[in-house]
């Protein structure tokens, strides 16, 4: 296409997981929460006045940012940035802190959007491979770059780097450290206190997973006010619409509800992992709402994925280095996981 910028010539763009509208489909491919969002979120949306839609929303989302800061023990909204999904904030972080041509460090495998965002910005992603247990190798800490993007818990492995490793990174890495905590509510510990202690730490979270609000598009970044100020220069003026701001405030104020859904997902995750292991999959212990099921038998993982697809059961298959023998399976309801296990039993026994 002759009109496109030079930079985009070789960029394919990010391909998100499928969102087919097939009634009854079992959707275990995009790490959505199988349970509905808080009733208080729905109430807040219904209570929106026509005026709230007629007028521009608060460009700074102050009510929500204040409530969020309070929730996590931060002094005020100046420590928090709200965004139209965490994906927007990841793109903004690169746009705000990375020069075209600079290096951005990430572990491999990781959230594959990072690479696309770097391509779009004209900077270089530098991958350092995780070890066989999905842990950071020593060389990760000494690789120079302008920014480091660290998914914790990692996607698609579900495994978390030790908190001490992230702490060391913040201390030793000469650049911004973005800690992507998209899945952290499903795990054990977290790094939400790091921005208080490290001027280069940015902790990002999303409401798409634990809060069951993927359709709303809500993400947050917590960092020192000087960092948040820089983001204010690059974000869209009204990056959070009125509905999102109302939903975000209601969701953060109903934290217990989120935690009760997370507890259900965690219980199902333990059962699903044990059953997948029984079937012969190698499944690392996950701190997320998905499991990476590695499979070296027959039929190959890709074929299992395709057969499940014909039965209206969607999981995720990545045709990427190191992941070709694996399926990433979102933890659904107990009934959804039972249906998946039943289908897998048939597919695997047929061979
Ligand atoms: C590791 C990771 N970070 C960020 C996101 C994006 O979250 P959001 O839906 O808020 O854009 C995802 C979504 O799947 C993710 O897996």
Amino acid 77: pLDDT: 98
Q: Does residue 276 share a domain with residue 127?
A: no
- Residue 171 domain flag: yes
Cα separation, 271 vs 48, whole angstroms: 41
Task: Tell me whether the omega of the peptide bond preceding residue 299 falls within 30 degrees of 0, making it cis.
Answer: yes
In tens, the pLDDT along 227-251 reads 999 999 999 999 999 999 999 999 9
Same domain, 98 and 183: yes
Establish if 3 belongs to a structural domain.
Answer: no
Ligand 1 atom with the smallest distance to the CA of 209 is 9
Asked whether residue 115 is assigned to any structural domain, the reply reads yes
Distances in Å between the alpha carbon of 233 and those of 200, 224, 227, 237, 261? 18, 15, 11, 9, 36
Euclidean distance between CA atoms 8 and 5, whole angstroms: 6
Which residue segment(s) compose the domain that 58 sits in?
39-254
Distance of alpha carbon 320 from alpha carbon 16, whole angstroms: 14
Residue at 13 is within a domain: no
CATH number at residue 171: 3.40.640.10
Q: Locate tokens 């190959």: which residue?
A: 300
Task: Tell which residue, 170, 169, 158, has the closest CA to residue 195.
Answer: 170
pLDDT recorded at residue 351: 61
Measured CA to CA, the distance from residue 256 to residue 254 in angstroms comes to: 6
For residue 1, the CA-to-ligand 1 centroid distance in Å is 30
Give the pLDDT score at 84.
97
Per-residue model confidence as pLDDT tens digits over 260-290: 999 999 999 999 999 999 999 999 999 999 9
**Chain Cα centroid distance, residue 268:** 20
Nearest atom in ligand 1 to the alpha carbon of residue 180 is 3
* pLDDT at site 41: 98
**Mutational pocket test of ligand 1: of 89, 111, 153, the residue with most ligand atoms within 8 Å of the beta carbon:** 111
SS3 content of the chain, % helix, strand, coil (to 5): 40, 15, 45
What pLDDT does 1 receive? Answer: 83
Same domain assignment for residues 261 and 205: no
Determine whether 164 is exposed, middle or buried from the number of CB atoms within 10 Å of its CB (0-12, 13-18, 19+): exposed
Which domain-ending residue is among 230, 254, 278?
Answer: 254
Give the model's pLDDT for residue 345: 96
In the prediction, which pLDDT does 341 show? Answer: 98
**Co-location of 140 and 186 in the same domain:** yes
Say yes or no: 344 and 208 in one domain.
no
Rounded (10°) CA dihedral 74, 80, 85, 87: -110
Q: Mark whether 49 and 164 lie in a shared domain.
A: yes
The stretches in the chain having pLDDT less than 70 are: 350-351
332 plus 198 within the same structural domain: no
Supply the CATH number for residue 321's domain.
Answer: 3.90.1150.10
Question: Measured in angstroms, how far is the CA atom of residue 217 from the centroid of ligand 1?
Answer: 10
**How many Å lie between the centroid of ligand 1 and the Cα of residue 292?**
17
Domain boundary among 237, 254, 271: 254
Residue 48 domain-assigned (yes or no): yes
Determine the Cα–Cα distance for residues 205 and 293; give it in Å rounded to an integer: 25
Residues 6+ apart with CB under 8 A from 300: 324, 325
| 78/191 same-domain check | yes
Answer for the pair 64, 245: CB distance below 8 angstroms, yes or no.
yes
Same domain for 114 and 248? yes
Residue that terminates a domain, selected from 254, 271, 286: 254
Ligand 1 center to residue 139 CA distance, Å? 26
Residue 87 CA: which ligand 1 atom is closest? 11
Decide whether any atom of ligand 1 lies within 6 Å of the 110 Cβ. no
Question: What is the distance of C-alpha 340 from the center of its chain?
Answer: 23
And the tokens for 271? 């059962």
My answer on whether 101 and 134 are in the same domain is yes
In this structure, the answer to whether residues 170 and 110 fall within a common structural domain is yes
Q: What's the pLDDT score for residue 107?
A: 97
Counted domains in the chain: 2
The answer to whether the peptide bond before residue 174 is cis (omega within 30 degrees of 0) is: no
């Amino acid at each position: 296409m002759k009109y496109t910028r030079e930079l985009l010539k070789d960029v394919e763009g990010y391909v998100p997981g499928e969102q087919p509208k097939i009634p009854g489909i079992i959707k275990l491919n995009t790490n959505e929460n199988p349970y509905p969002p808080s009733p208080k979120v729905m109430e807040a949306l219904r209570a929106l006045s026509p005026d709230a839609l007629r007028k521009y929303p608060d460009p700074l989302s102050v009510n929500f940012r204040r409530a969020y800061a309070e929730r996590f023990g931060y002094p005020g909204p100046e420590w928090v940035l709200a965004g139209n999904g965490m994906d927007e904030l990841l793109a903004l972080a690169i746009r705000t802190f990375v020069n075209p041509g600079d290096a951005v460090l990430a572990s491999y495998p990781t959230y594959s959007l990072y690479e696309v965002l770097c391509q779009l910005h004209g900077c270089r992603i530098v991958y350092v491979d995780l070890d066989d247990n999905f842990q950071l190798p020593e060389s990760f800490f000494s690789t120079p770059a302008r920014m480091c993007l660290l998914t914790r818990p990692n996607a698609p492995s579900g495994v978390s780097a030790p908190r001490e490793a992230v702490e060391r990174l913040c201390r030793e890495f000469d650049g911004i450290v973005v800690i992507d905590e998209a899945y952290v509510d499903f795990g054990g510990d977290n790094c939400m206190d790091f921005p208080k202690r490290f001027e280069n730490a940015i902790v990002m979270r999303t409401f798409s997973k634990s809060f069951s609000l993927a359709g709303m598009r809500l993400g947050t970044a917590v960092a020192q006010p000087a960092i948040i100020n820089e983001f204010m220069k690059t974000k869209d003026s009204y990056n959070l619409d009125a509905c999102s701001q109302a939903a975000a405030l209601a969701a953060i104020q109903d934290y217990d509800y989120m935690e009760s859904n997370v507890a259900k997902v965690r219980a199902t995750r333990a059962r699903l992992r044990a059953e997948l292991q029984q079937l012969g999959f190698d499944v690392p212990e996950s701190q997320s709402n998905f499991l990476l099921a590695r499979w070296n038998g027959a039929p190959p993982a890709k074929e299992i994925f395709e057969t499940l697809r014909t039965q209206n059961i969607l999981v995720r298959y990545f045709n990427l280095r190191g992941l070709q023998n694996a399926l990433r399976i979102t933890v659904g309801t107990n009934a959804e996981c039972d249906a998946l296990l039943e289908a897998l039993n048939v597919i695997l026994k047929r061979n």
